[in-house]
Amino acid sequence: MNKNELKQFLNEKVIQYNKPKFIESDPIQIPHKFSTKEDIEISGFLAATIAWGKRQMIIKNSNRMIEIMDNSPFDFVMNHSEKDLDNIENFVHRTFNIIDFKFFIKSLKNIYINHNGLENVFANNVEDENMKNSIHQFKKVFFGIEHPLRTTKHVSDPMKGSAAKRINMYLRWMVRQDNTGVDFGIWKSISPSVLSCPLDVHSGNVSRKLGLLTRKQNDWKALSELDVNLRKLDPKDPSKYDFALFGLGIFEGF
């Protein structure tokens, strides 16, 4: 396919998959349970953090976290006591366990009290037309309070080469306004033009087959290459192609 044919093909796939039906089988259904900004962004952040493995298990365990927080994530984050944390029954998703979950709650409280919330932390550090520095600085803030060393692995850092797939997915959820009811578009201080497509095994393989990516590793260098090519197709909304690449890989075995 030439550039115009590829753009038409991928745009058609975006339209096919960027629909409310997509929510039914995706972790984005977790923040869709809520209507207030803070509940959406906290529940979304937690769901995105554990978004690896089988999607059914991701959704099950994300719901479990929300239940532990009395189905009011922002209120729980802001008003929990040490006793509330001590009373949490054991929680685990893959390598993310109760120690990590309790710290995430504490760190989120610190971010809302001392840093004016999640959106503000990410928005304050956008540089170079992408979110690389923003994600790097977010990790610094997130672990700016006393923390278990083991928990740092659960927030990726692109400065160390990570493609930061889960954070980029989360940023797509919060920033991108798709007008179809899937992505939320509630963070107005960040432009969709600086977002990156979440890069994983599926989107990476599809991207290579389509000639959008040549690098073999799914790291930040590969994401940068993919960014360049997707921005050529749509400089204002490049992360929309996540729907096309994901759909082709997961639903069509492309």
List of long-range contacts for 3-9, beta carbons under 8 Å, 24+ apart: 3/232, 3/233, 6/210, 6/211, 6/212, 6/233, 7/233, 7/234
When pLDDT is averaged across residues 22-32 and rounded to a whole number, the result is: 96
Phi and psi at residue 138, to the nearest 5°:
-60, -45
pLDDT 10s digits, 223-238: 999 999 999 999 999 9
Measured distance CA(11)–CA(16) in Å, rounded? 9
Predicted confidence at residue 251, as pLDDT, reads 86
Residue 181 backbone class (left: φ over 0; alpha: ψ -120 to 50; beta: rest): left
Return the closest-CA partner of residue 128 out of 191, 48, 198: 191
225's enclosing H/E stretch is helix 220-233
SS (H, E, C) 141-207: HHCCCCCCHHHHHHCCCHHHCECCHHHHHHHHHHHCECCCCCCECCCCCCCHHHCCCCCCHHHHHHH
When pLDDT is averaged across residues 152-169 and rounded to a whole number, the result is: 97
Predicted confidence at residue 140, as pLDDT, reads 98
When pLDDT is averaged across residues 184-200 and rounded to a whole number, the result is: 96
pLDDT 10s digits, 36-94: 999 999 999 999 999 999 999 999 999 999 999 999 999 999 999 999 999 888 899 99
Predicted confidence at residue 188, as pLDDT, reads 97
Hey, what amino acid is at 241?
Answer: Y
Predicted confidence at residue 153, as pLDDT, reads 97
pLDDT 10s digits, 101-139: 999 999 999 999 999 999 999 999 898 789 999 999 999
Q: Is 254 exposed, middle or buried (0-12, 13-18, 19+ CB in 10 A)?
A: middle
Measured distance CA(74)–CA(68) in Å, rounded? 12
Question: pLDDT at residue 26 above 90?
Answer: yes
Is this structure's pTM higher than 0.85? yes
Q: How confident is the model at residue 181 (pLDDT cuts 50, 70, 90)?
A: very high
> Six-digit token pair at 212?
């959008």
> Six-digit token pair at 42?
């906290």
Predicted confidence at residue 128, as pLDDT, reads 73
